Amino acid sequence: MNKQPVDEGTRPAASADIRKILGDIDDAKISGILALKPSLADLDDVAVCMAGDHDVLVKSGHHVPVTAARILELLADEEQDAGR
């Protein structure tokens, strides 16, 4: 069987990748994120949006993929819960 190289951006993300790219996130949120089966590229998009640079993506013609948008929703829910 011939193994094809995996593009780093399309490689499925692991919990260590989530923590490395998005920072300190609790285990429950990491489980929720992993359930969405994100790629490293999805996590990079989330990081850009979290840094407030969403407009940079849009200007370049790149829109946030569905998986990245769902991760952002999960993280926004966490911030709302923390504010209560």
pLDDT digits (tens, 9 = 90+) for 21-74: 999 999 999 999 999 999 999 999 999 888 887 676 667 776 788 999 999 999
Report yes or no on 2 lying in a domain.
Answer: no
Are the CB atoms for 6 and 39 separated by under 8 Å? no
Its domain, for residue 27, covers 11-82
pTM to 2 decimal places: 0.76
Q: What angle do CA 62, 78, 49 make, to 5 degrees?
A: 20
Whether residue 67 contacts residue 46, with contact meaning beta carbons closer than 8 Å, is answered with: no
Please give the angle made by the CA atoms of 78, 25 and 56, to the nearest 5 degrees: 80
Distance in angstroms (rounded) separating the CA atoms of residues 22 and 29: 11
Classify residue 23: in a domain, yes or no.
Answer: yes
Domain tally for the chain?
1
Domain assignment of residue 38, yes or no: yes
With 50 as the cut, is the pLDDT of residue 16 above it? yes
* 22 part of a folded domain: yes
